[in-house]
Amino acid sequence: MKFSDWGPILVALITVAGGIFQARRARPMTREIVKQDAELLALLPEDSEARRILAAHIDETVRKIVEGEDERTRDLSGVLFWTSFLTLAVFLVVVAAERGGYWWFLCLPAAVGWLLGAPMAVQDATLRRRDAGGRPV
């Protein structure tokens, strides 16, 4: 595979990474929502039923934020392990594309590596409560 063949691959990877970044950033963070709710609470009349409901919701959300900050983690070793599977899968496909012929059979273990690595890397990268071994609780 020539160096010029990597251009479309790099553009595709940058596009996918940018899309993932934008999708994750588009959602407002929980603290921002609580701040907006608190501003809305200040605008509601004192004797309103909606004010009591919103105040209870804000209290519950803040309690969850404070309790959950210390408990939710990522499993870095799992992310690195499964990312190595993804890297190996890409390497096998590149070798198969360069050599052709029977080398295309390398796409089979590459597919298995990709099918195992992608969901597991996402699972380990997601913030969750975990036990001492790093497994989700």
pLDDT (tens digit per residue) in 19-77: 777 766 655 667 888 888 889 888 888 888 888 999 999 999 888 877 766 566 777 78
Residue 14 pLDDT level (bands cut at 50, 70, 90): confident
For the entire predicted model, the pTM comes to: 0.48
DSSP assignments along the chain, one per residue: --GGGHHHHHHHHHHHHHHHHHHHHHSPPHHHHHHHHHHHHHHS-TT-HHHHHHHHHHHHHHHHHHHHHHHEE--HHHHHHHHHHHHHHHHHHHHHHHH-GGGGGGHHHHHHHHHHHHHHHHHHHS-EEB-TTS-B-
Task: Quote the pLDDT of residue 110.
Answer: 92
User: How does pLDDT run across 72-92, given as a tens digit for each residue?
Assistant: 677 778 888 888 888 999 999
